[in-house]
Each structure stands twice: as structure tokens, then as C-alpha cells.
Amino acid sequence: MAKQSKPLTKSEIAASLAEASGISKKQATQTLEALVALAYKHAKSTFTIPGLGKLVLANRKARKGRNPATGESIKIPAKRVVKFRISKAAKDAILGVKK
């Protein structure tokens, strides 16, 4: 198994964005924070980042589960969850195009 590298920090992402777009690191950080705030605000009606994917709300049905320690059956209530659906373009760029 290949050794996993550490995920980029917010500071490293901002530095990369600043370098790629020719803006200051502070401006890049503000832009990143604005994007996150926008995503939080609009996630209830689906928030899309073109070329990357979208945040969507999904309803999970109530179901029966099992406590792994005791084997006892438990009821898991219905709930709303936030999911991120990756775009086809991002999948192809990361995993390579299927033939």
C-alpha cells in the first residue's frame, strides 16, 4: 500500500490559490472563506462548484441497526444529511478515464 500524504491545510491551499491567480495570500484566504460561507448558505438548495461537485441534502429513512458490542437491535431514526456528489469531470481527472 502506498504511503498517504497529509491533506493540504487551509494556509497551503490559500498559498497555492494566491500563486496560481496572482493575488495576495490574504486575498486568497478571504476568497476561500467567502466560498465556504456561500456553500453553507446555499447548501439547502444544492450548491455546485463547477468541475468539482455539489453539496446536496438527502433524507435518510428510519432503519433498524445492531449494537456491535451487545448484538442488541436498535432503531435508528430518520434524519437529514449533507452529501457531496463528485462531478464526472473530477472523477475522470482523479481516477483517469475509463475505457
For residue 14, is it within any domain?
yes
The letter for the amino acid at 73 is S
Residue 55: what pLDDT?
A: 93
Domain-located, residue 75? yes
* pTM greater than 0.75: no
Q: For residue 14, with 0-12 CB atoms within 10 Å meaning exposed, 13-18 middle and 19 or more buried, which class applies?
A: buried
Q: Which cell goes with 44?
A: 439547502
What does the pLDDT look like over 39-94, one tens digit per residue?
999 988 899 999 999 999 999 999 999 989 998 999 999 999 999 999 999 999 98
pLDDT confidence tier of residue 97, bands split at 50, 70 and 90: confident
Domain holding 71, by residue range, is 10-95
Q: For cell 475522470, what's the residue?
A: 92
Total number of domains in the chain? 1
User: Do the bridges between strand 63-66 and strand 73-76 make them parallel or antiparallel, or are there none, so unpaired?
Assistant: antiparallel
1 falls in which pLDDT band (50, 70, 90)?
very low
Q: What is the pLDDT of residue 96?
A: 85
Nearest to 65 by CA among 78, 46, 84, 51: 78
Question: Does any domain span residue 1?
Answer: no
